[in-house]
Amino acid sequence: MEISIGCDHAGFELKELIKNKLSELGYETTDHGAHSADSVDYPEFAHAVAADISSGKIELGVLICGSGNGISMTANKHANVRAALCWTPEIAELARWHNDANVLALPARFITQEKGIEILEKFIKTNFEGGRHERRVNKINY
């Protein structure tokens, strides 16, 4: 499976760590940047990852910025993108299990790198439960 990934300058270091972890786990990544810790505008990277997901080209995405808010808000403007801002593994699990989240948004300035990896692993290893949750998820797109 391939995972689309993007970040702003605040998320650059965590993005690089996550890319390495995904590679270790056997995943390919499409890296939309940022490619350094130099200041950039997060919407560019959020739109690129969200386009991969919205088009169906790639199933899952990871976005990282300082708070996780701006990058997830931007991604959620795209049809069929369900970006979830997660700061614990438990929230990541519920985002996938109950909400069928397909983009993980991480707040680089508020979690440790170790916690970021834990959250990522829980997110990619959890499947959507479906059932009563599917009816609700189907009501998200307007």
Q: Where are the domains of the chain?
A: 2-137
Residue-wise pLDDT for 22-72, tens only, equals 999 999 999 999 999 999 999 999 999 999 999 999 999 999 999 999 999
Q: Please indicate whether residue 98 is annotated as part of the active site.
A: yes
Catalytic residue among 65, 78, 86, 133: 65
CA atoms within 13 A on the CB side of 6: 25
- pLDDT of res. 142: 66
Q: Please indicate whether residue 65 is annotated as part of the active site.
A: yes
Q: Does domain 2-137 correspond to CATH entry 3.40.1400.10?
A: yes
In this predicted structure, the answer to whether residue 127 has a pLDDT above a threshold of 80 is yes
pTM of the model: 0.95
Catalytic residue among 9, 47, 98, 133: 98
Give helix 113-125 / helix 89-99 axis angle, nearest 10°: 20
φ, ψ dihedrals at 140, nearest 5°: -70, -50
